[in-house]
A and B are shown apart, each in its own frame.
Chain A
Amino acid sequence: MNGRDGTPFAITLGVGSSLANKTGSWRTERPVYRNALPPCNDACPAGENIQGWLYEAEGGDYEAAWRLLVADNPFPAIMGRVCYHPCQAACNRAHLDEAVGINAVERFLGDAALQAGWELPAPLPDTGRSVLIVGAGPSGLSAAHHLRRAGHRVVIREAGPLPGGMMRFGIPAYRLPRDVLDAEVGRLLGSGIELHLDDRVDDLMAASRGFDATFLAVGAHIGRRAYIPAGESAHILDAVGVLRDTADDQPPLLGRRVVVYGGGNTAMDAARTAKRLGAEEAIVVYRRTRDRMPAHDSEVAEALEEGVIMRWLSTIRHVDEGSMVVERMELDADGFPRPTGETEELAADSLVLALGQDVDLSLLDGVPDLEVVDGVVTVDDRMMTGHAGVFAGGDMVPSERTVTVAVGHGKQAARTIDAWLRGEEYRHAARPALADVTSLNTWYYTDAPASVRPTLDLVRRISTFDEVTLGLDEDTAVFEARRCLSCGNCFHCDNCFGVCPDNAVRKFAEGSGAGDNGRDYAFDLDYCKGCGLCVAECPSGAIDLVPEQI
């Protein structure tokens, strides 16, 4: 039974749709999809897109995750072992329970790649330009990788017998197994990088002739000596030398009681190495207190677990054969250590100095316009020295001395050099706003306590150079990746699509990029009233509310 105009019975008037009513005109603010900078990415010295590769790992696409990772850092398996992970110190998840175990997942990906044999992306076609790199430590290798990928000819000259720098001759094998180091370095070099070993550069100006640019990454290898009065037959060694010789399979004779002087990571490694070489006691003597130690907490903790003895607030006054004199220090009102005059004799067969390293700058003699302050070479924020065309990074420039910083310098230098070779000037991209924890809606994240990395049992730790910290299995690694909050970046939770009372969010296929500027979602501004609900309920803080131009 139909009405006169054909409408069904009981409807007397024709109906139109409310779609005719464009409620978007009510709006005074509009939602905009954004990508904010996750704190982890911000803190990574190598500039990794951590949130991005965790997102891929969450879904189980480890190769995609690894590819995203190596676009910034060619050494995930190394990083996953030696990086001090400042990313985790910055991670927003710490405000919920504990930081995401980024470093453990990075290692999982790095190891997965080595196992599966994934290759780094092939270099672009040759550009006809060539770059000299001095030093095959992490900084030089990182720069080489990025420059080679861009299609430039890359020649590395390395003074030592093998590539890797301090990763090989400083960091002990129990923290970075040599097969891992060899595999990642070998894979990188396989892209056609020319490496000359045992080929020290003594005169930079002469060496750089014929190259379009030069990157210096010679590290800091000269162990600092403190003046300590010593008897003639006192057995005093330098920590870097001890570690180098150990790495070189020529471990030095240290004796039964070894004293290590210094409070940095090198001191920890020297003491732990001494134990592994058979010392019954390894004693670290340090002027200040534990909280002032430059060594990372985890390294101090691991050294203590292995039975290394710490003597904080102590200095060494005199060294003789078989013993030394130690003076107790105390902190003054400003927290500086000052001598007390109280001394004590300490039986010890050898003293290992771990007081820091200086840079050997002799190859720079005669290079004009180079500035050296406090023993390191001045560079601008794009890693260029005062001498045009000469760039430098890693331990030889002023900054924190870590593998990751060195890798980041290498990447930055490569970008600057690449621009320079094209006659352009490298400009830093504009930094997006930081996705701090207040921009997230953490309600939506489930409770998930951090996973713990397994470790080797103690007996094997102190008697071998086997790796101490072990990797995560796949299930645990995925679980850990899924603890990530995806700070500042859409992770396709559909909340915006769901919570809009005005049905003003459009959703497209995941990965299609068919939405607002390449996203998979779009705001329908014909109907969006600008209430801000989608902004408030976006877990990851990936939507901004901006004033409407009226």
Chain B
Amino acid sequence: MGIVSNIKNNPGRLMSGNGKRSVGFHTPTTPVEKILALLSRYREASILVVAILLVIYFQIGSDGQFLTSQFLSVVLRDTGRLGLIAIAEVMLMITGEIDLSVSSVFSFAPYAMVLMANSLGVPLVLAAIISLVMGVLVGVLNGVVTVRFRVPSLITTVGTLFLFQGLVVWINDSQPIVAPIQEPFNAFFGQNLFQPNDSLLSWHSVTAFTPFLWTLAAVVIIALVLNRTTFGLHTIATGSNIVGAREIGVRTDRIKIYNFMLAGGLAAFAGIINTVQFSSADPQAGSPFLTLQAIAAAVIGGTSLLGGSGTVVGALIGAFVVATLNNGLVMVGAQATVSDIYLGAAILGAMILNVQVNRLRARRRI
């Protein structure tokens, strides 16, 4: 046989046989190259740096008020809410799709849950499960319309966004309804029992962070699913090269539908936690702005809008950055609306950096 490989004996040499060295993998030498190499290797690295810098900035700017359990429970609550939706968008964006209807499910599912509990006497746990299933079914609708009827998901989900937002407002004349409290359901899913003089090592301090802890669990699970299961592999394949994936036997339509279902379920879950937190189901709880912030979190976290690659851990850190900007700027005395300016700039900056790092990677192969 003509060409002999010696990968094992000679791991340092990339090409074998004729003694030529491969040009493929340039070893970074200068500090700038090293940093760029790190950034391109770990997509989460750049957003993590941003997050740490923001925390330091606000901690100093607020005279040490940022890193208190009181304030962090607010930031992390928002992080949790955004994060759940952001990881749903990450999975869909990896397949090359997007879901703009998540905010309507975020309003619709918990509203249905509370209505079932209040008017039909369904136990909250059961009502929560039923409304989760409803969220998943919205995902089925989004997925089927997108893959079977070939409507771009951007359009499909704008349609279902108005449809379900309209439904939830219509059901009860856009009236918020008070959610019942049934322990341990409420304590478990986000009712904040923490008092300023409670010990940090008490159960009450855990409840201060439950929304975030649920999100953290979801991130760990989805990250494992994405990186360690056949489903995750096929999700990446679908977005990276849909024709090739089909040719090799990946059922790309199903993969997309499953990811829409996941998004619907996660949005419902986020909505339920939010409702439990505020003890009230508001038909306007989720605005499209929430979806856009979640997409922003995913994108600044390192997920490509082009499909094929993404990171849920990055999205969680991205959600933290967005939540920190929203709350931190207010705390240091800025107007609430100013945070949008920073967020907008952050998105543009992150995108420019991503594109540049990718170009560098393609050119220099760092």
Q: Do A and B come from one complex?
A: no
